[in-house]
Amino acid sequence: MLRPFRLEEPESVKEVSELLGRFGESAKVYAGGTELLLAMKEGLVHYERLINVKNVKGLNEVASDNGMVRIGALCTHHQLETSPLLQQKLAALVRLEQNVANVRVRQVGTLGGNLCFAEPHADPGILLLALGATMVAEKASSKREIPAEEFFVDAYETGVEADEVLTEIRVPVPARNSGVAYLKFGYLERPSVGVAVAFQVQESGQSVHDIKIAVGCAGPAPKRVPEAEEHIKGKGFDEATVNISKAGEIAGRAAQAISDLHGSQEYKEHIVGVLLKRAFQNALGQYRAVQS
Amino acid sequence: MQFEKEVEILAPREKVWNFIWDVDRFIACVPGCKEAKTIEAGKLYSATMTEKVGPFRVEFPTTIEVLEREELAHIKAQASGADNKIGSRMKLSLDVKLREQGEKTVLGFVAGVDILGKLAALGHGIIKRKADQVLDEFAQAVKKRLEGDS
């Protein structure tokens, strides 16, 4: 049962930050509430105050300028899965959003809430890592950008400070010579392994110029795997296709997979490798389709 | 959940053994442990175990019972506690063994940790990882404290 709490209704980021500063750990930011309220109903956490940020203006828009997509932290998953702008600029994110949890969660759950709650079995952070996104965190007097790699600290822990508010997610628009894919594997709505790949192809059109590989869900937090990327970077497509198995082994180990009811550590490591191969082929297929 | 750890400490076995029974110094090495009390020396102790995973906090008032004791070599103990606020219980069984290895003492322990109740909703994997971290930190803290003294 949900225990009583006080609801604050600020209308600006400054007010939210001040409330967080004033009430410290007894207060928590609340947006869609799909994860936080569930945990509170279960009695796993309790806050004396919830700071409802849904009335803060300007945080639920998707915009694009200077090769960057800017997603307001309050955008719901549904808003993102149906955004024409996002479909045009970041189709891989749209596909991911179409498969987040279920329709009820997507209607009210926000991207910002998903990232800040940092539940280990969440999809968006993995793809955002591969896309080289940054998260904008604001407080009353300052604003900073946190690279996705520094944002995810551990299970349920992020780089957002206690009096900061995540306001925006900035994602560089992949160039025309890019391939991007996210694949996941799991039981019903709960992904137990997620793998994202994003690469650019050299001007010659014959080799991979740059690649980012990210894994998540299997371990405590999403993470990029530069050691796996090294086996693909600068390689021709044929060599990269051979090397992707080795990259998959490395990514599997790097995932810090945890054995649970959904699979053993070894099993999840294997699945990381399988998904990486498929995601790479998937992204390569997309690149070739755009070029032809 | 079963954990096995071993830590080599550059200190004589007797010193390590005495350290284990010095409740205040020993408890300082257990992450998140506070308010340790001796109820019956060598047999029964109490302490409060606190831990945090992101926004989730637990506080287990815990009773620790020493079941077996073989001087300078082996201790068997069990502990249990409940956090009524979040409706969860913790059970711990602990087998501690000491053996000499040249100038070093090898402190080995096998810990069985069970978390029951709502906290289990966090997922077995997350809890296991946290417990593993706590035991690692504990082992390193004991090593540091004892080697720092020598």
Tell me, what CATH number does A12's domain have?
3.30.465.10
A13 shares its domain with A90: yes
What pLDDT is attached to residue A241?
96
Dist. CA A222–CA A218, nearest whole Å: 9
A85 shares its domain with A126: yes
Task: Fill in the amino acid letter for A216.
Answer: G
Low-confidence ranges of chain B (pLDDT < 50): 150
Q: Does residue B82 sit at the A interface (CB-CB below 8 Å)?
A: no
Chain B residues with CB-CB distance to A261 below 8 A: 124
Write down which residue in A113, A148, A173 finishes a domain. Answer: A173
Instruction: Report how many domains make up chain A.
Output: 2
Dist. CA B119–CA B127, nearest whole Å: 9
CB contact under 8 A, A120 and B118: no
The full DSSP string for B11-25 is S-HHHHHHHHT-HHH
Instruction: Report how many domains make up chain B.
Output: 1
CB contact under 8 A, B55 and A156: yes
Write down which residue in A173, A208, A227 finishes a domain. Answer: A173
What's the ipTM? 0.75
Rounded to the nearest 10 degrees, how much is the dihedral formed by the CA atoms of A143, A125, A122, A30?
10
- HSE toward the beta carbon, residue B67, CA cutoff 13 A: 10
Determine, yes or no, domain membership for A292: no
A7 shares its domain with A152: yes
Residue with tokens 């997620």: A194
CB contact under 8 A, A156 and B87: no
Task: Choose among A258, A275, A176: nearest CA to A218.
Answer: A258
Q: Does residue B67 sit at the A interface (CB-CB below 8 Å)?
A: no
Task: Report pTM.
Answer: 0.90
Give the residue numbers spanning the domain of A99. 1-173
Distance from the B118 Cα atom to the nearest Cα atom in chain A, whole angstroms:
7
Low-confidence ranges of chain A (pLDDT < 50): none
Chain A residues with CB-CB distance to B54 below 8 A: 118, 154-157
A87 shares its domain with A122: yes
What pLDDT is attached to residue B150?
46
* CA A181 vs CA A287, B72, B124: distances in Å: 11, 59, 30
What pLDDT is attached to residue A43?
86
Dist. CA B114–CA B118, nearest whole Å: 13
What pLDDT is attached to residue B148?
84
Dist. CA B75–CA B67, nearest whole Å: 8
Q: Does residue B3 sit at the A interface (CB-CB below 8 Å)?
A: no
Give the domain CATH number at B108.
3.30.530.20
Give the residue numbers spanning the domain of B11. 2-149
CB contact under 8 A, A44 and B128: no
Alpha helices in A118-261 (DSSP H): 124-130, 148-151, 226-229, 237-254
Q: For residue range A201-255, what is the model confidence (pLDDT) as tens digits?
A: 998 888 999 999 999 999 999 999 999 999 999 999 999 999 999 999 999 999 9
Return the number of CB contacts < 8 Å for A and B.
47
List, as ranges, residues 221-260 from A with C-beta within 8 Å of B. Answer: 258-260
Q: Is B105 helix (H, G, I), strand (E, B) or coil?
A: strand
What pLDDT is attached to residue A203?
85
Contact criterion met (CB below 8 Å) for A68 and A170? yes
A39 shares its domain with A108: yes
Dist. CA A282–CA A284, nearest whole Å: 5
Dist. CA A289–CA A287, nearest whole Å: 5
Closest in A28, A45, A258 to B56, CB measured? A45
Residue with tokens 């021709």: A236
Write down which residue in A173, A208, A232 finishes a domain. Answer: A173
What pLDDT is attached to residue B149?
60
What pLDDT is attached to residue A50?
98
Determine, yes or no, domain membership for A54: yes
Residue with tokens 């201790």: B75
A220 shares its domain with A184: yes
Pairing status of strand A208-216 against strand B33-40: unpaired
What pLDDT is attached to residue B25?
87
CB contact under 8 A, A157 and B54: yes
Dig out the tokens for A133 from the structure. Answer: 């996104």
